[in-house]
Amino acid sequence: MKTLVEFIWEQQEIVGTATGEFSRLLNDIGIAAKIVNRDVNRAGLSGIIGDDGGVNVQGENQKKLDVMANNEFIKALRNGKQCAAIISEENDDVIVFDDKTTKNAKYIVALDPLDGSSNIEVNVSIGTIFAIYKRKSIGTTITKEDVLQAGTELVCGGYVIYGSSTMLIYTTGFGVHGFTYDPTCGIFILSHPDIKITDTGNIYSINEANYIYFPEGVKRYIKYCQEDDATTNRPYTSRYIGSLVSDFHRNLLRGGIYMYPGNLKNPQGKLRLMYECVPMAFLAEQAGGKASDGFQRILDMQPEHIHQRSPLFIGSKSMVEKAESLMREFSPDFLDAE
């Protein structure tokens, strides 16, 4: 039996970067995850279901649990002192820690504290997504270059899924590893070492209600998924929960593709590049899969602002490549047409 903390240390020692700072940072994320797990589990009993009354920078109504999860992660990262700044879906601006110790911390965390929060009331799996960057400017104030880093600079990407069991999955570029939370002793235990996604699968996940607004390339791909062809195991099966974390997690373990494309109303789609697309893209690639905006690799994209959105096609490599080829053929100018 190996715990999350033991495993992080072991991995850091293998790559020779064991100063303890990153291990502490990931451990802090684990601590916040346990608290959020408790809150999510007891939400129906403790009056924390429903809207908070606030609206975030993307104009979405904040749920009480969105706000609570955000506060728990900020608190754990502030107390842990390894994180100099946080980018969060629930905060308009970058949160910069400027106390004596923390302002020199090496890392920056981008966070979707609670993903799939429209599913909170109905007891469906939700999650937390996180991305960890190393800051570039040590000893000065946080700069734009520290905050707006491309996915290729990522140190760690991961998520926590609050599901029928709670799991923490992460990668630091040396494979994807999954830990299941044992609530009886309060620790994350390695249960899914070195997760790999199959090259192809038979699940496609997309909110098909938006069909009429989709680019022609996406419409063609959906039809491709629905065609009868025994040699490629089609028609595929359709699964869509509406929590990126849950949809991605299932497809990672089973093989499949998740898509949140741009559409005529929102050409850049809905998902946020820095704290939804990029960490999931790092995980997908590390598991042997692929992540694209339909035309280019998600990890190569240079963010221009912290809440930037991006279309996302992610999962089994061959499936993402097929969707990309139809996007190129039938909707080559879709993202330029904004």
The one segment of 51-59, 83-91, 203-211, 228-236 that binds Mn ion by CB under 5 A: 83-91
- Smallest distance from the beta carbon of 144 to ligand AHG, in angstroms? 24
Near Mn ion in 169-228, by CB under 5 A: none
The item of Mn ion, ligand AHG, none sharing an interface with residue 317, based on CB under 5 to 8 Å by kind, is none
- Smallest distance from the beta carbon of 5 to ligand AHG, in angstroms? 27
- Note whether 168 and 151 are within 8 A (CB): no
Beta bridge partners of 87: 110
Q: Toward ligand AHG, which CB reaches closer, 244 or 281?
A: 244
CA angle 89, 8, 165 (to 5 degrees): 60
- Smallest distance from the beta carbon of 80 to ligand AHG, in angstroms? 23
Q: Toward Mn ion, which CB reaches closer, 114 or 168?
A: 114
Beta bridge partners of 309: 272
DSSP state of 275: I
- Identity of residue 167: M
Return all residues near 100 (Cβ < 8 A) that are at least 6 apart. Answer: none
Give the full edge-to-edge strand order of the sheet including 290-292.
237-238, 203-205, 257-260, 312-315, 290-292
Residues 113-132, mask of contacts with Mn ion (x by CB under 5 A): -xx-----------------
Q: By CB under 5 A, tell whether 112 contacts Mn ion.
A: yes
Structure-block tokens of residue 307? 């809440």
Write the CA distances from 6 to 1, 24, 190, 196, integer angstroms: 10, 11, 10, 22
Q: Toward ligand AHG, which CB reaches closer, 105 or 168?
A: 168
Cα separation of 263 and 269, whole Å? 6
- Report the interface residues with ligand AHG, using CB under 6 A: 60, 89, 112, 115-117, 207, 242-244, 247, 270
Q: By CB under 5 A, tell whether 72 contacts Mn ion.
A: no
Q: Toward ligand AHG, which CB reaches closer, 70 or 200?
A: 70
Q: Toward Mn ion, which CB reaches closer, 22 or 73?
A: 73
Query: Which positions lie near Mn ion, rule CB under 5 A?
Result: 89, 112, 114-115
